[in-house]
Amino acid sequence: MTTDELPPQFEPSTVESTVYQMWMAQSAFAADAAQSVRSGGARQPFSIVIPPPNVTDVLHMGHGLNNTVQDVIIRWRRMAGDETLWVPGTDHAGIATQNVVEKLLAKEGLTRFDVGREAFVERVKAFVDSTGCTILQQLRAIGSSCDWSRTAYTLSPTLSRAVREAFVRLWEAKLIYRGHRVIHWCPRCLTSLSDEEAEHHDASGTLYHVTYPLADDPSRAITIATTRPETMLADVAVAVHPDDTRYRDLVGKSVMLPITNLTIPIIADEYADPKFGSGAVKITPAHDPNDFEVGVRHHLTMPVVISAGGMMEEVADADGRVPASLRGLDRFEARERIIELLRASGHLAKVEQHQHAVRKCYRCETVIEPRLSDQWFVKMKPLAEPALQAVRDGRVRLLPERWHAVYVHWMENIRDWNISRQIWWGHRIPVWYCDGCGAEPIVARDDVTACPKCGGAVRQDDDVLDTWFSSQLWPFSTLGWPDENAPDLRAFYPTDVLVTGPDILFFWVARMIMAGYFFMGDAPFHTVYLTGMVRDMDNRKMSKSLKNGIDPVDVVRNFGADALRYTVVSSLGLGTNVMLDPNNLEQSFAPGRNFVTKLWNIGRFLLSNVGDAAVERLDAISPERLTSADRWILARLDAAVIECDASLGPPRPTHDGKWLESERYSGLRLMEYAEAARRFTWDELAAWYLESTKSRLLDPANAKDAAVARAVLAHVFDASLRLLHPVVPFITETLWQRLPGRRDGETLARAAWPASRGAAPESAAEFERVRDAAVRVRQLRAEYNVGPGVAVAVSIRPSSSAMRATFAEFAATLGKLPGVRAAVSQVNAAPNEAAAHAMLADGSELFLILAGAVDLQKECARFKGELAALEKQLASLRGRLANSGFVERAPASVVDAERQKERDWSLRSEQLHEKVAALCGG
């Protein structure tokens, strides 16, 4: 297609898929491990692992934002000459995926227990096989330049082997143990959750004050405050602080537990806070993690009275604690019934509203039930120490920097991680038991078929591992670990940048850093870029439940991937949220759509001026052949490249694997980078240089100068497309392919990133003076109401002989520059006729001839009228300021404001006097 055949409008629906197919056909995104310097090659490696979306996911705007950021970074480094690898893949998402399939079964009137474990797992596999690639295809649609030949999956045989290896190594290091403890339990998902998965939600609840009578003197009682009265059926003690004098004589006595009438002891423990409520607290070890610790210290029994499904039942060691009238009730129904019983028996002392934090399941938002259970745990403190130090000493940086303190606080207070889940979809825990000889649990890398001690039958642990257990290995399991000689592992680990959201800083990021140090001896990346969230215009996070989301596929279909990408990048301050209106996609993505339209128009216009014939190489053109406009645009290109590089920042630490303090929070200012590239292309190349070269390009008498103009124009447009490519890859690739001299097989995705030519800034000074003159002409035209179609003569009195030569050179083209629409009549004298006057930055004087361009009498009258009105107001204001009574009595802020107004009006008066003199002759 020649430049003349470029369509008048960019059609992303047809162009983008064709461009992506070209990239795939040319293996433009494929990484070669052998080229990495770590493998003996010549290129610096640069790698990113994608935060693996759930295998059941479809693309949402959070994915659109996150993956666009990753793609901008990886395209930048690919063009900069690094051997780049962006690893794509998906997560099996244990709880989420199982929930989806269980809902499908429910529509058939079945549960997973009806179909059995093996059949259920096969059903989930079939479901995943039918839907699992959807989001990966959608990521292609937004331009993600992943190496798709390396697509990973957390439940694939290769990564499953890595999970087994990780579990066994942690077990051998005595960092994994089986514990009987209170954990977070989801009655809906029927599984335990980690601390991070049980999210805090502020809620308005009720605080119930219940009296517990003394067993030997019912006339006396201890009042206990609780928000969960249904758990009192499992109370085994009442605790008071050992220094609380109010209860010192009661320690060792017993109280009657209302409803059940059981006697429970009064114990002394520092857990009780004398300043909170009555200073006494009920102890329910099986249903509260803090109470559990008290129970362990005092060797208390731990009855469980709430079932896995959240029903009131005697589960373990309850011994008739749940009355028949409450059995089988949902925990919240039972709460209301228990309150009625307490009120009827006279044990309900008071009820009051209470604001508190309620934990909910991060998947289904069911209220969590603390519950005593046997679970597998990982000891975290030994793993956390090197990961904490890595952030403190600058080996790993968190952007934006405000997350540094959050990370440190969490790591300093880290708790053991509950890694077992009572579901069927996931990596089954590699532990086997022999019921015959009662041998110790067998932990093995390979399946165990018989007890190694007695040869008897064995059974595997029913639980599966928390999904995040496999995800923590992602930066190295995807590269071939545990095979330490795997080519990708040797070439690309550690990776470089992780791009993700702050909501999984602890779910995933911190655990990856800990796993990297334990299994690989090094952090898995040096930079964590935490993006903001995509929110609606009411600042609400976009979500399915709120029905306020935006489908990126709809955006791509209507406006194109480049429009989506530019919109999010151009509004993406480091760590700030992106605000979009789900009810008005046209308005939300107007910045990107307008950008693409403008760039296409610039490209068509510029390419039509450059033509299809070969152009001279810029380095073959001697400096004396360059005009001041040529030197200016090349200097501005250098400045743009430098600004883009500074905004993107150093790609990796520059000092012994650590970030210097000066670099620790620098770079990856993608919004600033995108604006620098846009500003050069719009405001300098298109708006000024292209306009200034038109006459040179079309001058048949000076073919050599036209050749220079073509060469410079082609060079700077080529560079601007390279700068913009990471943000808007489809349109830039399309236009770049039309530049003269392109060879078959060349692609912008693999082209070199622009480098500064070292042009001295002063080389741009001459043309800057011309730009200054053009801007002042445009301003004067607006001030004096000169119509847009009116040609106005301009006269310039140069400040020096050098400036006289500069303005003389551009006398023919100055009037053609944007916003000028004027002809320069002379460059060395002041006019004798009505003219507007302006001083230029270099000291030259510019005159805009007004005679014949405006109605002098009308404009003279307008300015005189405005001046008269202003002088009247100014006289009144000055009189007020001269009044000592006003100045002394009025607030200082009011007086200061009036004085500032007097200065502003005085300046405006001077300007109007000049205008009247210019138009009216006096």
Q: Three-class SS of residue 758?
A: coil
pLDDT class of 70 with cuts at 50, 70, 90 = very high
pLDDT class of 820 with cuts at 50, 70, 90 = low
**Helix (DSSP H) and strand (DSSP E) numbers for the chain:** 30, 31
Q: What is the pLDDT of residue 517?
A: 98
Could you check whether the bond before residue 482 is cis, i.e. omega within 30 degrees of 0? Answer: yes
* Residues whose CB is less than 8 angstroms from the CB of residue 294 and which lie 6 or more positions away in sequence, other chains included: 237, 239, 267, 269, 271, 283, 285, 300
Is the model's pLDDT at 542 over the cut of 90?
no
Per-residue model confidence as pLDDT tens digits over 755-811: 988 766 666 777 888 888 888 888 888 888 888 778 788 888 888 887 887 777 777
H or E element: which one contains 845? Answer: strand 845-849
Q: What is the pLDDT of residue 817?
A: 62
* 604-608, Cβ contacts within 8 angstroms, sequence gap of 24 or more: 604/3, 604/6, 604/8, 605/686, 605/690, 606/686, 606/690, 606/713, 606/717, 607/3, 607/6, 607/717, 607/735, 607/738, 607/739, 608/3, 608/4
Distances (CA, A) of 413 to 385, 406, 511, 801: 11, 11, 14, 73
Decide: residue 550, CB within 10 A, 0-12 exposed, 13-18 middle, 19+ buried. Answer: buried
* 858-867, Cβ contacts within 8 angstroms, sequence gap of 24 or more: 859/784, 859/785, 859/919, 860/916, 860/919, 860/920, 863/912, 863/915, 863/916, 863/919, 863/920, 864/916, 864/920, 866/912, 867/909, 867/912, 867/913, 867/916
Which residue would you say has higher pLDDT here, 6 or 751?
A: 751
Strands (E), 28-131: 45-49, 83-87, 89-90
Which residue would you say has higher pLDDT here, 86 or 94?
A: 86
pLDDT class of 701 with cuts at 50, 70, 90 = confident
Strands 262-268 and 254-257 turn out to be antiparallel
Q: What is the pLDDT of residue 130?
A: 86
In the chain, % of residues over pLDDT 70? 96
Q: Per DSSP, what are the bridge partners of residue 655? A: 658
Q: At what angle do helices 590-610 and 552-559 cross, to 10 degrees?
A: 40
Q: What is the pLDDT of residue 4?
A: 55
How many Cβ atoms sit within 10 Å of the Cβ of residue 515?
23
Q: What is the pLDDT of residue 819?
A: 61
Is the model's pLDDT at 124 over the cut of 90?
yes
In whole angstroms, what is the distance from residue 414 CA to residue 408 CA?
A: 10
* Residues whose CB is less than 8 angstroms from the CB of residue 558 and which lie 6 or more positions away in sequence, other chains included: 585, 589
Distance of CA 190 to the CA centre of its chain: 32
Per-residue model confidence as pLDDT tens digits over 320-370: 899 999 999 999 999 999 999 999 999 999 999 888 889 998 878 899 999
Q: How wide is the angle at C-alpha 713 spanned by C-alphas 708 and 715, nearest 5°?
A: 95
Pair of tokens at residue 878: 């000055």
Per-residue model confidence as pLDDT tens digits over 488-532: 999 999 999 999 999 899 989 999 999 999 999 999 999 999 999
In whole angstroms, what is the distance from residue 258 CA to residue 491 CA?
A: 67
The 8-class DSSP code of residue 239 comes to E
Per-residue model confidence as pLDDT tens digits over 557-584: 999 999 999 999 999 988 889 999 999 9
Pair of tokens at residue 825: 């009549």
Q: What is the pLDDT of residue 759?
A: 67
In the chain, % of residues over pLDDT 90? 65
Nearest to 105 by CA among 424, 460, 461, 546: 424
Q: Three-class SS of residue 326?
A: coil
pLDDT class of 822 with cuts at 50, 70, 90 = low
Per-residue model confidence as pLDDT tens digits over 447-496: 999 999 999 999 999 999 999 999 999 999 999 999 999 999 999 999 99
State the maximum Cα–Cα separation within the chain, in Å, rounded to a whole number: 118
Mean pLDDT for 387-392 is 96
Is the model's pLDDT at 439 over the cut of 60?
yes
In whole angstroms, what is the distance from residue 706 CA to residue 70 CA?
A: 41
Is the model's pLDDT at 127 over the cut of 90?
yes
Q: What is the pLDDT of residue 102?
A: 92
Pair of tokens at residue 871: 């002088």
* Residues whose CB is less than 8 angstroms from the CB of residue 93 and which lie 6 or more positions away in sequence, other chains included: 54, 55, 56, 57, 467
Type of residue numbered 221: A
- 14-28, 49-63, 817-831 — which is least confidently predicted? 817-831
Type of residue numbered 352: E
CA atoms lying within 13 Å on the CB side of residue 559:
25
The alpha-carbon radius of gyration of the chain (Å, integer) is 37
Instruction: Compute the CA torsion angle 503, 506, 510, 515 (nearest 10 deg).
Output: -120
In whole angstroms, what is the distance from residue 12 CA to residue 14 CA?
A: 5
Is the model's pLDDT at 204 over the cut of 90?
no
Mean pLDDT for 206-233 is 93
- Contact present, 443 and 168 (Cβ < 8 Å): yes
**Mean pLDDT taken over the chain:** 91
Pair of tokens at residue 781: 């035209």
- Contact present, 530 and 665 (Cβ < 8 Å): no
Is the model's pLDDT at 725 over the cut of 70?
yes
Q: What is the pLDDT of residue 1?
A: 45
Instruction: Compute the CA torsion angle 183, 184, 187, 188 (nearest 10 deg).
Output: -140
* 384-391, Cβ contacts within 8 angstroms, sequence gap of 24 or more: 384/411, 384/414, 384/510, 384/514, 386/514, 386/517, 387/411, 387/510, 387/513, 387/514, 387/516, 387/517, 387/523, 388/412, 390/513, 390/517, 390/523, 391/513
Strands 83-87 and 304-306 turn out to be unpaired
